[in-house]
Amino acid sequence: AQKITQTQPGMFVQEKEAVTLDCTYDTSDPSYGLFWYKQPSSGEMIFLIYQGSYDQQNATEGRYSLNFQKARKSANLVISASQLGDSAMYFCAMREATGGSYIPTFGRGTSLIVHP
C-alpha cells in the first residue's frame, strides 16, 4: 500500500490566489512527522513545512500552512497568495518513528503552475 498519496498530478492557479495541494498518508505508527518539500526545475529539494503527529495546531510558515486532519490521515498544503516563483513540483513526505529510526517516504508529487 502507498504510504503517501498525492492524487493531483498537476494543478493550475492564478497568481495571488490560494491553492491547496492534497496529501493522504497511511501509517499505524502513533509517532510520525509530515513534511512538504518544493522542487523547482533546477532540481534541489527545498523544505517548506513540518507537522508532528502529536502537534495540536496546524503548522504555518509564512504563506504556507498545513491542514492536518489526523482522523482522515490528511496533510494538505495550502499556499496563500500564489506567486509565479511557486511554480514547481511539491512533494509530501512522512517520517515514521519505527524502532527508533526515522524512515522517510515521499509521495509522487504534484506539479503546480502559477499563471499571471
Partner 1 sequence: EAGVVQSPRYKIIEKKQPVAFWCNPISGHNTLYWYRQNLGQGPELLIRYENEEAVDDSQLPKDRFSAERLKGVDSTLKIQPAELGDSAVYLCASSLRGQASNEQFFGPGTRLTVL
Residues that bind partner 1 (CB under 8 A): 4, 31-33, 35, 37, 42-47, 50, 52, 91, 93, 95, 97, 101-109
Q: Which is nearer to partner 1, 11 or 45 (CB)?
A: 45
User: Do the Cβ atoms of 67 and 55 come closer than 8 Å?
Assistant: no
Minimum gap (Å) between residue 17 Cβ and partner 1: 26
Q: CA–CA separation, 20 vs 22, rounded Å?
A: 6
Residue 82 CB contacts under 8 Å (≥ 6 apart), including other chains? 13, 14, 15, 16, 17, 18, 19, 114
Nearer to partner 1, 101 or 116 (CB): 101
Separation of alpha carbons 50 and 66, rounded Å = 8
The bridge status of strand 60-61 relative to strand 24-25 is: unpaired
The residue among 9 and 85 lying less far from partner 1, judged by its C-beta, is: 9
Residues in a beta bridge with 68:
75
Of 30 and 85, nearer to partner 1 (C-beta) is 30
